[in-house]
Amino acid sequence: MQYWLMKSEPSEFSIDDLKRVKVEPWDGVRNYQARNMMRDDMKKGDLAFLYHSNCDEIGIVGVMTIAREAYPDHTAFDPDDNHYDPKSDPDNPRWFMVDVRYKRKLKRVITLNELKQHRALADMTLLRKGNRLSVMSVTRKQWDYILELE
């Protein structure tokens, strides 16, 4: 079992949106490192934090499970889609997505600011300077530690 953190701008897709729809295809990832993790390492049943970025209350807001392992991200084939990539060929897809399922909302937002205060979390990818990955792994230790803060 592996642990993950996935970013989303709540104005695009929030924890409340996920709660409503229950299951969501995590489309639109257009970064190779993030893609590789989704395609190669994410397994059904893995757990992931949902993180709200670029908003008033930045931080971890909920827990989701990986409901379906990687399959081609068809939005890359759609010229009308924001994430259209003409170089992704349906016969040889470049981008992949997983499905995530709502598990629960945290009792409170664990903010980025708060995460930064904890020595134990200093190694988190999320907290590394300049990190821009929208999908990243979280160690079991970090996962448990963060949930203890809730």
User: Where does this chain bind DNA (CB under 7 A)?
Assistant: 7, 9, 30-33, 53-55, 58, 87, 112-113, 128-134
Nearer to DNA, 7 or 39 (CB): 7
Q: Of 20, 7, 107, nearest to 58 (Cα)?
A: 7
Considering the complex, what minimum distance in angstroms separates the CB of residue 112 from DNA? 5
Considering the complex, what minimum distance in angstroms separates the CB of residue 113 from DNA? 6
Nearer to DNA, 22 or 84 (CB): 84
Considering the complex, what minimum distance in angstroms separates the CB of residue 79 from DNA? 15
- Would you state the structure tokens that stand for residue 107, as one six-digit string? 């009792």
- Would you state the structure tokens that stand for residue 50, as one six-digit string? 């949902």
- CB-based contact 29:4 (threshold 8 Å): no
